[in-house]
Homo-oligomer: A and B are copies of this chain.
């Protein structure tokens, strides 16, 4: 008989199983969207009965919120760490823009967009969304403030400017989700716009490849 048929899933430690579930849910979210995270869907991916997913999560909504937070927080930390290695605020902001606009993170953008809508009916998720937006804003604000301190930038409202930069990035990425054609030089135009907002010199935020 086939050896691949497994009657009952191996018993694992709660920590291990919980991690396994979160990982499976993440994968589902990234390629089918947050709304594809259902108890049965996740269970089948893990190779386990649906009841077990419920046993590890207070509710399906909570699982969705957890997945969102995990995915998005990882990205924030990754980019933040990348910036820390750069010497100047201009360089950091330029890399920030370039990194977030290079199209390699569209799956995460899709998660963001869906979360904005789902948050309307999932309070736990809504709280997570606000928290992660704040985290992003803090990263950007810090860069802007460092630039002001060093004289590279000039603005009296770093917090607002940081929100605006994020909003612009989100909007352009969301747009890219649906429409690619016809938009050339996304990075260049955005860089120019942001230079205007933070009061940087012209060209200071262009990616190295275009400078």
Contact = CB atoms under 8 A, between A and B. Distances in A.
Contacts of A33: 117, 120
Interface string A152-167: 0000010111011011
A148 interface: no
Given A113-B174, A119-B178, A171-B173, 11 more contacts: A35-B117, A114-B117, A126-B178, A130-B178, A133-B178, A157-B185, A160-B183, A164-B172, A167-B168, A170-B171, A196-B196
Contact of A133 (B137, B173, B175, B194): B175
Contacts of A114: 117
Nearest to A193: B193
A182 interface: yes
A163 B175 contact: yes
Nearest to A109: B116
A195 interface: yes
Contacts of A18: none
A167 B175 contact: yes
A50 to B, nearest CB: 22
Interface residues of A, number: 46
Contact of A182 (B113, B129, B159, B174): B159
A40 interface: no
Contact of A110 (B117, B164, B179): B117
A179 B116 CA distance: 10
Interface in A121-136: 126, 129-130, 133
A190 interface: yes
B164 A189 contact: yes
A17 interface: no
Interface in A1-60: 33, 35
The 8 closest A-B pairs by CB, nearest first: A171-B171, A196-B196, A167-B172, A193-B193, A170-B171, A167-B171, A167-B175, A168-B168
Contacts of A161: 189
